[in-house]
Amino acid sequence: MPHNLHVTTVATPDGDFTIIADETAVLAAGWTDDETLLERLRMSEGSAMPTQSTAPRGERLLRQRSTTNSGASTSTSTSTSTSTSTSTIPAQATGPGDSSSLLVQAVGPGDPSSVLARATAAVLAYYDGDPDTLESTPVRQRAGDFHRRVHTALQTTGYGQRLSYTELAERAGNPRAARAAASACADNLIALFVPCHRALRADGSVGGFRYGLDLKRSLLDREKAGHAKIREA
């Protein structure tokens, strides 16, 4: 049976944000295009996901872009309007004689109960200053025991909060593993939902971020301002 993944791209003030999900959880998310994110997911899953395409060259990825608001841009936006990227990757065999396949397709706005639709709504709510639905969105990613504990610790780091890699390692059960905690942040496949941007160096500097330090600072500044508004309310 095919393994169905669903993909969408949301236009945010920080750039296009792509989400990949199956029927139960978000598997990957970040400020990048769908092909790049899918390849990262394949590399993370290793043998658990197919890697060889049986489709003719040039037919591997079909994409159609549209926007929900007539004035919204499909590439960049200064508002939280949504753009969707409809992607279909034909069946891919995992090996000779193996009939399992991977199908990546979009879930439209007509399916509000899907994980992808809920995740999309959560991202838009986050940029409107409401992080609650983002924090309650189900996620799943392949990781070793310590990295998994780091990811869990990140998910319990609240909106507007920051912590050092050393503090993150402590929360994950190994206070001497600050470098391993930073590595777990770098390997995190589900940006924003697993908020690795909240982890900083011990001296308070921003450290690294897969999507660039300017974007990390933007997220931290947005959350600082949003947290202050919540406290004032």
> Catalytic site residues?
196
Q: Are 193 and 183 in contact (CB under 8 A)?
A: no
6: how many CB neighbours lie within 10 A of its CB?
A: 24
Q: Report the C-alpha gap between 202 and 192 in whole angstroms.
A: 21
Buried b (16+ CB within 10 A) or exposed e, 69-91: eeebeeeebeebbbbbbbbbbbe
Q: Are 129 and 232 in contact (CB under 8 A)?
A: no
Q: Indicate the helix (H) or strand (E) that contains 146.
A: helix 145-155
65: how many CB neighbours lie within 10 A of its CB?
A: 12
